[in-house]
């Protein structure tokens, strides 16, 4: 839970635990490509654009169909179209995979260092992950864009007919129930795969504050993801305005810190080199070698006592050995 304007983090649980994003990854696509593409541009859908997992969410684009970029964004955010995601990534970078590479570069710029995209749509792929904290960074970048805010709050739109393909148009609706049922809702993004389970990003404004909530790995019980988000938003709006347990980093902040010159450490003061410590025995031997009689005389006496003691012990043991030998005979 974070404040979209101040960047204050109001509360978090497992904020930096990696998870799979599902379709909330489409927000990273939006944060990357919205400023690159002219919404009035019209492009033709290719067969590769429609190469998505069977049964996954799609707008219903047609090979050879002509669609404006604005229509593709609406299809992406309202209907979670994986076909629209592929097409937008291609239009923004030249190919779908190049678009994914740009998404990862954008994640780094935003400070979302625990995010790695493999697909533009959020369909599961090996090595794809994000965190709830990173999603908040990405969502903050999205909601700073007026076009995104308009798309995210759109309730329904018309996918145009394709006369050349003899196909009629049809209507799609926004799947994010928050915009219909939560006063002050700003929109967001739903997500689900079997691996990721339910993910959710939702934002709302109340009393001059704009808050965003991000969820990863949720289950649709006891209430659905958007309802869990709504309850957390209620909790966030109930906190004092200065409540904070942390903050969201600003775009480029990590790069700036890494590039910041650091003062060279002060030179250590010169120290007098002391001779190596030899211990008491080593010191005594050195003094004897130097002819110090204060050490020679006590050591000579100690040596004499030691030799005498050893001789006495040997004599006593010899005597006991003789007595034991007589008893054995």
Tokens of 294: 């204060």
- Annotated active-site residue 26? The verdict is yes
Identify which has the larger pLDDT, 298 or 185.
Answer: 185
- Range scoring the smallest mean pLDDT among 111-115, 178-182, 271-275, 307-311: 271-275
pLDDT at 253: 87
pLDDT tens for each residue of 75-98: 999 999 999 999 999 999 999 999
Q: Is the pLDDT of residue 329 over 90?
A: no
Buried b (16+ CB within 10 A) or exposed e, 294-324: ebeeeeeeeeeeeeeeeeeeeeeeeeeeeee
pLDDT tens for each residue of 192-226: 999 999 999 999 999 999 999 999 999 999 999 99
Contact 77, 151 (CB under 8 A): yes
CA–CA distance, 76 with 86 (Å, rounded to integer): 10
Residue ranges of alpha helices (H) inside 118-176 are 132-143, 146-152
Q: How many CB atoms lie within 10 A of CB 161?
A: 13
pLDDT at 84: 98
Tokens of 130: 């994000």
Q: What does pTM read for this prediction?
A: 0.78
- Annotated active-site residue 23? The verdict is yes
Helix (H) or strand (E) holding 218: strand 209-218
Could you tell me the pLDDT band of residue 260, with boundaries at 50, 70 and 90?
Answer: low
Tokens of 246: 């942390």
Residue with tokens 């005594």: 284
pLDDT at 50: 97
Contact 131, 35 (CB under 8 A): no
Q: Is the pLDDT of residue 270 over 50?
A: no
pLDDT at 326: 35
Q: Is the pLDDT of residue 325 over 90?
A: no
Q: Is the pLDDT of residue 304 over 50?
A: no
Q: Is the pLDDT of residue 282 over 90?
A: no
For the chain, what percent of residues have pLDDT higher than 90?
76
Residue from 80, 121, 189, 199 carrying the catalytic annotation: 80
Burial of 175 (0-12, 13-18, 19+ CB in 10 A): middle
Q: Is the pLDDT of residue 293 over 60?
A: no
For the chain, what percent of residues have pLDDT higher than 70?
77
User: In this structure, what DSSP letter does residue 25 have?
Assistant: G
- Annotated active-site residue 274? The verdict is no
- Range scoring the smallest mean pLDDT among 1-5, 85-89, 178-182, 321-325: 321-325
Mean pLDDT of the chain: 85
Taking the CA of residue 160 as centre, how many other CA atoms within 13 Å lie in the half-sphere pointing to its CB? Answer: 14
């Amino acid at each position: 839970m974070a404040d979209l304007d101040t960047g204050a983090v109001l509360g978090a649980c497992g904020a930096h635990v990696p998870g799979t994003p599902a379709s909330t990854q489409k927000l990273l696509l939006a944060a990357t490509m919205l400023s690159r593409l002219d919404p009035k541009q019209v492009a033709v859908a290719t067969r590769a654009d429609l190469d998505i997992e069977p049964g996954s969410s799609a707008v219903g684009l047609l090979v050879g169909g002509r669609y404006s970029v604005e229509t593709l964004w609406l299809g992406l955010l309202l209907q979670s179209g994986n076909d629209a995601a592929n097409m937008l990534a291609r239009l923004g970078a030249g190919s779908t995979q190049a678009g994914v590479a740009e998404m990862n570069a954008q994640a780094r710029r935003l400070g979302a260092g625990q995010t790695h995209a493999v697909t533009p749509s959020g369909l599961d792929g090996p090595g794809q992950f994000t965190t709830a904290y990173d999603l908040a960074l990405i969502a903050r970048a999205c909601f700073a864009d007026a076009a995104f805010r308009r798309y995210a709050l759109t309730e329904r739109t018309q996918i145009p007919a394709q006369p050349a393909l003899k196909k009629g148009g049809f209507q799609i609706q926004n799947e994010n129930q928050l915009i219909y049922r939560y006063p002050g809702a700003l929109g967001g993004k739903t997500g689900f795969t079997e691996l990721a389970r339910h993910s959710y990003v939702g934002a709302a404004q109340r009393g001059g504050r704009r808050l965003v909530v991000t969820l990863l790995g949720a289950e649709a019980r006891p209430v659905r993801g958007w309802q869990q988000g709504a309850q957390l938003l209620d909790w966030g709006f109930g906190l004092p305005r200065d409540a904070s347990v942390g903050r969201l980093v600003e775009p480029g902040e990590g790069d700036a810190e890494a590039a910041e010159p650091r003062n060279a450490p002060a030179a250590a003061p010169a120290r007098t080199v002391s001779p190596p410590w030899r211990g008491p025995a080593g010191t005594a031997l050195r003094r004897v070698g130097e002819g110090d009689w204060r050490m020679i005389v006590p050591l000579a006496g100690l040596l004499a006592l030691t030799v005498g003691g050893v001789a006495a012990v040997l004599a006593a043991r010899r005597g006991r050995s003789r007595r034991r030998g007589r008893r054995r005979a």
